[in-house]
Structures are given as C-alpha cells and as structure tokens.
Amino acid sequence: MKTLRLTDIDHAAAILSQGGVLAFPTETVFGLGVDATNPNAVEKLFAAKGRPSDNPLIVHVGSIKHWPLAAAELTPSAAILLKHFSPGPITVIVPKHPSISPAVTAGLDTVGLRIPNHPIAQAILTKANRPIAAPSANRSGRPSGTTWQSVLEDLDGLIDAIFVGQSPGIGLESTVVDCVHEPPTILRPGAISLEMIRSVIPAATAGLTTDSAMTVRSPGTLHPHYQPKAEVCLVTTADEFQSTRESTVYRDHSSDGPKDTLPPEKIAYCGLETIANQESLGAYSHFATAEEYARHLYEFLREADRRGVSKIFCQLVPPSGIGEALNDRLRRAAGRG
C-alpha cells in the first residue's frame, strides 16, 4: 500500500468517511484515525498497529456539541470535566453510543470520548462529521509518534494516508478519566493533572494502574507500552546516573570474555539535570522544564534507537503537574508499568 502524504482537510476527511486509515496531528500525540462506526475500517486499524484487541480505542469528535456522535449520555462528572478542560488533552469514559463498533470499545458498554485542541484535528473531525477512533499513531508497544516522520517510520505502507502537520505540543497522551463510576478516577495520567481535576471535582481520585480492579476498568493498560528497542534504566539524580553507568558491565562477544563498562556511544541520557562528558554519549538531552521533557521524550527514545544506543538512562521528575504523567510513561518505557 502506498501511504499518501496530505495537507488538504477535505481529502483527509474523505479518506476517513470512505473507511480508510489516516494519521493526523493532535495536541498530545499523532492519532491513527478510522470511522468508529465502520467495523472493517476498525479491523484495518488494529492490523496496521498490531494492537491487541482487548485494548479499547479513544473516540474523537470535532467539538463539544458533537459528543452525541460517540456517547449515549454524559454523566454529571463527564459534563463538568468537558466544560472545564475540553477541547483539550482529556478523555472521559462515558456510556457508548450504539453506533460505535464493539471492536472499538473491546466489547465494553463504555467509550473514551475526546475533543482534541488542535486546529487540524478539529477541522478533519468536523468535516468528517462522524466519530473517529484514534489510538496513538505508532506500532503497538513502541513510543507514540510525535512527528509525522516518526509516524511514517512505524507505519509507512501500512496506512492509507498521513496529514503532514506540525508536531504536537504536549507530547504525552491525554488524561483518561473514568466518569461512569463515582467518584471519577484517573485511569491514565496526562497533562490535565489530578490537582486540576480536583479543582472542579474535589472527590476525584488517581487510580493505580497496576491495581487489578483498575485493569478491569482500563483494559490494555498492562500491555507493553512506549518501549524503545534499547533498555531503559530510570534514575532519580544525575549522580545516580554516573554511579549506575560505572557499574554497567558490557560483554563484547567479538573479543574474549567480559569487558569493562558500556562504551559511551552506546549510552543515552535524558533528564532535567545536566551531566559531565555528555558529548561522548550516543544521545543526550536535558530539558529546562518537565513540560519540555514531556514534549520531546518519545522522539528522544526513538532517536536513541536510530543511533544504535543499547541503554537509555532517563531521570524521573518531581510528580506534580505533568510530572505524574511523565513518570508514568518513563516507568512503562522501562517495562515497569
């Protein structure tokens, strides 16, 4: 299949209306969209992503007034959250509209509803005028795509088209909130933090995604996610990076026996703190703020893979604001989801 590169909204919307698979930018990460009412299109999407079928997809609409395309009703907490934070990086779990294909919701009677705050996404969704199921645009398990080039790295030839748009601004997927049960519970942290949600619904809680009850409520969260090919090792400080790195023994099978430490070009580091001798590393980035770190994380992990790095050290951040979501993705990238 040849994947079309598009910059025309009408053409992009027509591809969705005709049952095609289209990658498009949102303010979080690129989405991989299909008509959520078309079972064949949904099947094509699962095949392109290589996604397990027990992991439900988020359904997107172009503006708040379009919510009846995806949901049967808005629960009171969903209405409050959409009023304050939508369009934006939040997904509310609500009772599903009967027209949404069961494959989209993995057989659940609920649906994740999101209105992206991105002009291209809004224009395509509004023009298509139908509910669009869109997981992150990456092969299942890989870091999400935050540039169109990275999306094509995973999916060129597997999808009908990509809208060649600007990189998203947030860089991590939306906050997912269960609004069916009371009190509302965060199933996946994102840019809309627990503090922000509690400012409008004080009883809201943060779910532990490793909790077994939570796994039932948010299926698919235990599958591997956001993982580069290189091993990811988490550190809390730059000093911890230095000491862990020194004790990393490297076996070079091309010569005899165990060798000394991993050569610097096989190591990558990213975090808020700078480190010494960064020039010798295979990949290095330090960020002024957690927001900037979040925006560039997935692209950093992919770049480390492109450079053949074998171990990526990532610094955890203070867990406030987007820090909670960033630490969640770092833990999952390290296989400790």
Which single residue is written with the structure tokens 């091309």? 254
Least distance between ligand TXA and beta carbon 233 (Å): 24
Half-sphere exposure of 332 (CA within 13 A, CB side): 25
| Binding status of residue 136 toward Mg ion by CB under 5 A | yes
Residue 86 binds: one of Mg ion, ligand TXA, none (C-beta under 5 to 8 A by kind): none
Residue 220 binds: one of ligand TXA, Mg ion, none (C-beta under 5 to 8 A by kind): ligand TXA
Least distance between Mg ion and beta carbon 270 (Å): 20
Of 162 and 187, CB closest to ligand TXA: 187
Residue 26 binds: one of ligand TXA, Mg ion, none (C-beta under 5 to 8 A by kind): ligand TXA
- Write out the E strands in 68-137: 90-95, 110-114, 132-133
Kindly indicate which of the ranges 196-204, 212-220, 261-269, 303-311 contains the residues binding ligand TXA, using the contact rule CB under 6 A.
212-220
Residue 65's nearest CA partner among 17, 106, 113 is: 113
For residue 288 the two structure tokens come to 């002024």
Of 221 and 327, CB closest to Mg ion: 221
Torsion of CA 221, 135, 26, 329, to 10 degrees: 20
For residue 48 the two structure tokens come to 């392109």
Residue 155 binds: one of ligand TXA, Mg ion, none (C-beta under 5 to 8 A by kind): none
Least distance between Mg ion and beta carbon 51 (Å): 8
Q: How far is CA 144 from CA 163, 186, 221, 297, 302, in A?
A: 16, 20, 15, 10, 9
Q: How far apart are CA 304 and CA 36, in angstroms?
A: 35
Among 86, 136, 193, 327, binds ligand TXA (CB under 6 A): 136
Least distance between Mg ion and beta carbon 145 (Å): 10
| Binding status of residue 187 toward ligand TXA by CB under 6 A | yes
SS (H, E, C) 59-76: EECCCHHHHHHCECCCCH
Q: Which residues bind ligand TXA (CB under 6 A)?
A: 26, 28-29, 31, 55-58, 91, 93, 105, 108, 110-112, 114, 134-136, 173-174, 176, 187-188, 217-221
Q: Which residues bind Mg ion (CB under 5 A)?
A: 136
